[in-house]
Amino acid sequence: MFSMTSMKSNAPDNSKIVGRASFRQIGCLLALSLVLAGCDAASDAGSAAAPAVDSEFLLAEVPADAVSISDAKQGLEAGGPVTVIARITAGEHDPFEADKAMFLMKSDTTTTLDAEAAAAHEGPGHDPDNCPFCKQKNNPTDSVAIVRFLDEEGKILPQDAREMLGVKKDQVVVVQGTASVDPLGHLMIDASGLFIVR
C-alpha cells in the first residue's frame, strides 16, 4: 500500500505542465502584440514624417494678370511685384533642388494665358522683332526664372518644393511674388503664392 506522499511524488504534475504552456502562450501573445504595435508606430511615424502640401502658398484661383517671364522682366524695378506663368522645367536637368523650396521654370508659347499673342506668333503677319516668344529664343535667359519660397529671415525654406507645394516637373504654374534680375540675367522671384494651371 502506497502512502499519499509517494503517490503524489510519482504522479506527473499536470498543473505545472499546463502552467508552463499557458505562460508560453501568454509570452508569445505579448511578443506579437509588441511587434504589431511597433509596426503601427512605424507607420504612424512614416505618415507623420510625410510633409503636407503647404496651403499658405497655394492660390485658390488663377490670377488673370499673369505674363511671360520676358514680359515680367521688361520695366521691372528690383523688388517689384510680378505674376508670371511658366512651365516648371530645366530641360534635361532636374528643375528642383532637394530639401529646398525652389525650382526653375521657363516660358514658351504653350504657357501663355494670352491667346492672341500665341496666335500671332504662329499666324500670318508675324513680326519676330516684336514677338515675345522670338525674343526669348534670341536671349534664353529672358525665358528662365528661379522661384524661391523664403522664411521670415529671407532664407530659402528647407523643404523640397515638390512635397511642400505638390508640384512636379513640366507642370504649368502661375507664381506671384516680388522679383529682381540676378547677375546672369535670370528673373529671380521670391514667391508669395502659386497656382497649378495644369
Sign of CA dihedral 122, 127, 131, 133: positive
Can you give the pLDDT at residue 111?
54
Report the 10 Å Cβ neighbour count for 139: 12
- Domain ranges in the chain are 69-119+139-196
pLDDT (mean) for 10-21: 48
State how far the Cα of 33 lies from the Cα of 18, in Å rounded to an integer. 22
For 35-85, the pLDDT digits (tens) are 444 444 444 443 344 445 657 899 999 988 898 898 888 878 777 899 999
Given pLDDT bands bounded at 50, 70 and 90, which one contains residue 148? very high
pLDDT confidence bin for 13, thresholds 50/70/90: low
Identify the CATH homologous superfamily for domain 69-119+139-196.
Bacterial OB-fold (2.40.50.200)
Over residues 106-118, the mean pLDDT reads 61
Q: Is the confidence at residue 130, as pLDDT, over 70? A: no
* Residue 171 CB neighbours (<10 A): 17
DSSP string, 58-125: B-SS--TT-B-HHHHHTTPPTTEEEEEEEEE-BTTB-SB-TTSSEEEEE--GGG-S-HHHHHHHHSTT
Higher pLDDT: 148 or 79? It is 148
Grid coordinates of 16? 505545472
CB proximity list for 124: less than 8 A, separation 6 or greater: none
What type of residue sits at position 78?
A: A
Query: Per-residue pLDDT for 131 more than 70?
Result: no
**What pLDDT is stored for residue 184 in this prediction?**
87
pLDDT of residue 129: 63
Residue 31 pLDDT > 80, yes or no? no
Residue 14 pLDDT > 80, yes or no?
Answer: no
Which pLDDT value is given to residue 61?
Answer: 92
Count Cβ atoms below 10 Å from residue 81 Cβ, excluding itself: 12
CA dihedral over 80, 86, 92, 95, signed as positive or negative: positive
The SS3 call for residue 147 is strand
Of the chain, the percentage scoring pLDDT greater than 70 comes to: 57
